[in-house]
Structure 1
Amino acid sequence: MSNIEIQQCLKENIKHIKNTFHDSSDLIVRKIRAGFNDTLEMNVVYLDGIIDADLIQENVIKPLLEPFQTDSSEVSIVDQIIERMIESANVKTTAEFKEMINAIVRGSTVLLINGYQQVIIIPSPKWAERSVEASTGERSVRGPQIGLTEKIKTNINLIRGSIKTPDFCVETVEVGTISPTSVSILYIEGIVDKGILKEVKKRVKSLKIKYVLTERVVEDALEGKPSSFFPRVRHSERIDGVVSTLFEGRVVIIVDGYPFAIIAPALFIDFTQAPDDYHISLGRFTSRIIRLISFFIGVYLPAIYIAIANFHKDDLPDKISKAIISKDELLPTFWEMVILLFLIRMLVDVSFRLPQSAVLLISLIGTIVIGETAVTAKLIHPVSLIVIGITALSSFLGVNRGLAAPDTVIRILFLLVANFFGFTGIIIATTILIMYMVSLKSVGVPYLSPIIPFKMQELKDTFYRGDLQKLTNSKHTYTEDNE
């Protein structure tokens, strides 16, 4: 396609277009004779089903069918038709065959005139899309409820409705060689951190792929190398969530076709935050601490239980030791933990994959298998069941914030370490984990910032939510290391 040029011969151009689309049945070529005494031979070309047919009929075809006479001035016929006949608000021309084909694929209508190498492109897309709905993944008791949709223009429209300033900038690039997908980089000039913006642009434009199957490929490019089980970009499907991060000097990336915004940088402490923190006063000083403690419980509780059972049960009073450590059960404590974690994971996966009508049945079966029956049969110690139950509840608190992967991976690693090395192994593994997290960066910003490196002025919106008026007027700064 890159070797094909637009010809003056209309039939040759139509032949090349049909060959490019492999004679697809939804490629429509509408022949028109226009001008004074029907001297101009034209073709209107578009893909049926993705364009607004009424718009093209009223603003393009109908005006062209009216008799008109071209001027003998130096203005070309193409310019005269654009200025006098086409009633669409947004019209442009091109002499590039590839640009014309891309326009057709994106829902534009093209007008070709016999004898001219320039074609007229009239944007006329009419994509099927769902209406704007409330956010389901990030629910909030109070505050705006509008969520993002799959259409990039709709999302930018919603965000512009909240950010009423000319400093709000949108830069759109095309990613994909076979099927280009629009990827928009959003930021606020004068507020955005220039180093972060430069790094985000560099990583997005470095993508060399055939098509964008999922937004995960953009996230991988933003996270960079080496890969990690800790998420270094964050998602949001809420308009207020996107707007607040933009005002914090961060960069937002939106991929056409996906109802989530990607936010960079994303620091570890960000994953303890929730929309409710900024809309209600309840839990202003405690909610994030509780979420952070829950994350640690989900990671450490099974490992601590295993360490006590394997290495320190003799150090406990006999009454407590008999009450909480397996004795007559068929399975050792370690394998109780492993099997219960495996079964919980199965239940979670099945609940999301099966039809909604079967979820109740699966929950009932899971309760029978994991619950009192297993305890009565002396397969599993009751305390093991309680430990895994608390672990699962603690983990679910961070699932929709992106902490599911690190929570699961670290829990398993700590479980293995505790089984062989006890508390000494847990302490060493924790030290290694902290060193590893310190080495991580999100688009050049230290992952544990503002704790490591310590920045006192940034603590006002970390472990607790500070005064909203001060937060609104303060400028966020980030420690960067983009090398």
Structure 2
Amino acid sequence: MPNIEIQKCLKENIINIKNTFHDTSDIIVRNIKVGFKGPLEIDIVYLDGIIDLDLIQEYVVKPLLEPFKTVGFKESIIDQIIERIIESADVKTTTKYKELIDAIVQGNTVLLINGYQKGIIIPSPKWAERSIEASIGERSARGPQIGLTEKMKTNINLIRGSLRTPDFCVETVEFGSLSPTSVSILYIEGIVDKGILKEVKKRLKSLTIKYVLSERVLEDVLEGKPRSFFPRVRHSERIDGVVSSLFEGRVVVIVDGNPFAIIAPALFIDFMHAPDEYHISMGRFTNRIMRLIAFILGVYLPGVYIAIANFHKDDLPNKISKAIISKEELLPTFWEIFILIFLIRMLVDVAFRLPKSGVILVSLIGTIVIGETAVTAKLIHPVSLIVIGITSLSSFLGANRGLVGADTTLRMLFLIIANFWGFNGIIIATTILIIYMVSLNSVGVPYLSPLIPFKMQELKDTFYREDLQKLINSKHSYTEDND
């Protein structure tokens, strides 16, 4: 298909188009004859339901049906139609059959003239789109509330509304041999880290795929290999989150049809941040420390409890040991914790996928089964419930920031290690974990930066938020791996 030229015979072109679309009922061909002397036969081709019919009727069909006289040589008629008749701001021509088909699929209207090997493409898409609304997944107490939508052009429009600078650059490419999907790379010239931008483009260029159903496939390419349970790119559905990342010299990737922006690089400390921290003064020194402690609790608390129950209960005062660990329960402590984690995971999964009307009922049943009944029947110790309750709350704090996968995986690993080797195993595993995290990078930037390698000037926006005026006027820089 890429090498096939448009034919001079209009009927042959229409037959080829219909065959390409497998005679689908929503491919519309409108035949008209225009001109005074030597009338021209023109076919208007489009997909019904995805174009603006009023626009085509008013600025294409109606002007074409008005009497006009062709002048000059026959070869200039297409140029005359574009320049004198079609009232559209953006008109393109092509001689390639593939470009013609791609234009129709993307919601454009195509004009073919009998006797000419050139088609006219008129942009006319009118895709169904939800209205602009507040971000649901990244709610905040203060600051802009507008979230991204599924349409890429709308998202870029919203971002440009906040980024009023000619240095804001958009590079759009298409991925998908079967169903092309537009992907835009956003950055600010003069601020973006050139090494990061080069690496992002290099990784995206290596992608070969039939279609892009989800942005996850792009995330996998940007994260690179080896795969990790730590996220090395992050999402944002907030306009202010995207704009802030661009001003920090990062690169943003937007996929048409997905209401999320992919931001790279994404460092471990970034997942402790929240958008509303830059709009309020409260908690500038404590919020991020609290989230880091919550992440540590979510990972270590069940393992620490198991290590105490299995190896160190005799080291505790007798009163405390009897209060938190007893032998009256039917199940061993390890299996208590393991089953509780499994049941909580089931409840969360059900709550997100059931109709809203059934969530309350499921929550009630879960409370009765996991809580009161299990304790009364002496299947589970009350302290085990408290441990898992704190662990779950800690996990939810970082869930919408992308750390839920790392939190869940590490929790189970440390739980198993603590059951067999106690605190010695936890200490050794923690050392290995830190070494592993040091080895990770996000599009070439060390994952634990600016802590490892240490960069004093970048600490102003890590575990605490520096004065906003200093943050706005400072230039961010990223230490890149030499690999």
Bin for the TM-score computed over the shorter chain: over 0.9
For 2:410, the equivalent position in structure 1 comes to 410
Runs of 4+ in 1 over 4 A off after TM superposition: none
Q: Secondary structure at the match of 2:120?
A: strand
Give the partner amino acid of 1:419.
N
Shift of 1:73: 5.2
Structure 1 contact 248–476 (Cα < 8 Å) conserved: yes
Q: Alpha-carbon deviations, 1:75-104, whole Å to 9, x = none?
A: 711000000000011101000100010000
Q: Secondary structure at the match of 1:421?
A: helix
Q: Alpha-carbon deviations, 1:193-226, whole Å to 9, x = none?
A: 0000000011112110000011100000000000
RMSD over aligned Cα atoms: 0.9
Q: Secondary structure at the match of 1:42?
A: strand
Quick one: distance in 2 between partners of 1:141 and 1:313?
44
1:292 matches 2:287: no
For 1:47, the equivalent position in structure 2 comes to 47
Q: Secondary structure at the match of 1:112?
A: strand
Shift of 1:2: 2.9
Q: Secondary structure at the match of 1:46?
A: strand
Query: TM-score when scaled to structure 2?
Result: 0.99
For 1:351, the equivalent position in structure 2 comes to 351
Q: Alpha-carbon deviations, 1:351-378, whole Å to 9, x = none?
A: 0011100000000000001102111111
Equivalent residues in 2 for 1:391-430, closer than 5 Å: 391-430=391-430
Structure 2 contact 232–265 (Cα < 8 Å) conserved: yes
Q: Alpha-carbon deviations, 1:32-51, whole Å to 9, x = none?
A: 10011461010000000000
Quick one: distance in 2 between partners of 1:2 and 1:390?
59
Quick one: distance in 1 between partners of 2:381 and 2:93?
75
Quick one: distance in 1 between partners of 2:435 and 2:452?
10
Quick one: distance in 2 between partners of 1:386 and 1:140?
28
Equivalent residues in 2 for 1:445-460, closer than 5 Å: 445-460=445-460
For 2:138, the equivalent position in structure 1 comes to 138
Give the partner amino acid of 2:436.
Y
Q: Alpha-carbon deviations, 1:382-414, whole Å to 9, x = none?
A: 101100000000110000000100000000000
In the alignment, structure 2 segments of 5+ residues that lack a partner are none
For 1:18, the equivalent position in structure 2 comes to 18
Structure 2 contact 2–96 (Cα < 8 Å) conserved: no
Q: Alpha-carbon deviations, 1:277-300, whole Å to 9, x = none?
A: 101011110000000000000001
Q: Alpha-carbon deviations, 1:82-136, whole Å to 9, x = none?
A: 0000001110100010001000000000000111111100000000000000001
Equivalent residues in 2 for 1:158-307, closer than 5 Å: 158-307=158-307
Q: Secondary structure at the match of 1:262?
A: strand
For 1:68, the equivalent position in structure 2 comes to 68
Quick one: distance in 2 between partners of 1:66 and 1:382?
84
Quick one: distance in 2 between partners of 1:3 and 1:34?
31
For 1:157, the equivalent position in structure 2 comes to 157
Shift of 1:482: 5.8
Give the partner amino acid of 1:49.
G
Shift of 1:344: 0.3
Q: Secondary structure at the match of 1:403?
A: helix
Structure 1 contact 326–333 (Cα < 8 Å) conserved: no
For 2:110, the equivalent position in structure 1 comes to 110
Shift of 1:255: 0.2
For 2:4, the equivalent position in structure 1 comes to 4
Structure 1 contact 90–122 (Cα < 8 Å) conserved: yes
Quick one: distance in 2 between partners of 1:428 and 1:182?
46
Quick one: distance in 1 between partners of 2:164 and 2:482?
31
For 1:85, the equivalent position in structure 2 comes to 85
For 1:444, the equivalent position in structure 2 comes to 444
Quick one: distance in 2 between partners of 1:317 and 1:265?
48
Quick one: distance in 2 between partners of 1:204 and 1:36?
52
For 2:94, the equivalent position in structure 1 comes to 94
Shift of 1:4: 2.9
Structure 1 contact 199–482 (Cα < 8 Å) conserved: no
Shift of 1:5: 2.0
Quick one: distance in 2 between partners of 1:38 and 1:436?
76
Give the partner amino acid of 1:15.
I
Query: TM-score when scaled to structure 1?
Result: 0.99
Structure 2 contact 3–96 (Cα < 8 Å) conserved: no
Shift of 1:327: 1.3
Quick one: distance in 2 between partners of 1:335 and 1:322?
19
Structure 2 contact 46–108 (Cα < 8 Å) conserved: yes
Shift of 1:74: 8.1
Quick one: distance in 1 between partners of 2:3 and 2:272?
53
Quick one: distance in 2 between partners of 1:178 and 1:378?
58
Q: Secondary structure at the match of 2:460?
A: helix
Give the partner amino acid of 2:461.
D
Structure 2 contact 188–246 (Cα < 8 Å) conserved: yes
1:388 matches 2:388: yes
Quick one: distance in 1 between partners of 2:169 and 2:3?
35
Quick one: distance in 1 between partners of 2:382 and 2:72?
94
Q: Secondary structure at the match of 2:58?
A: helix
Structure 1 contact 449–479 (Cα < 8 Å) conserved: yes
Q: Alpha-carbon deviations, 1:7-34, whole Å to 9, x = none?
A: 1111111111111111110000000100
Quick one: distance in 2 between partners of 1:90 and 1:49?
21
Structure 1 contact 443–482 (Cα < 8 Å) conserved: no
Structure 1 contact 42–114 (Cα < 8 Å) conserved: yes
For 1:362, the equivalent position in structure 2 comes to 362
Give the partner amino acid of 1:326.
S
Quick one: distance in 2 between partners of 1:379 and 1:465?
46
Q: Secondary structure at the match of 1:277?
A: helix
For 1:33, the equivalent position in structure 2 comes to 33
Q: Alpha-carbon deviations, 1:216-257, whole Å to 9, x = none?
A: 000000000000000000000000000000000000000000
Moved more, 179-188 or 1-10: 1-10
1:476 matches 2:476: yes
Q: Secondary structure at the match of 1:460?
A: coil
Q: Secondary structure at the match of 2:142?
A: coil
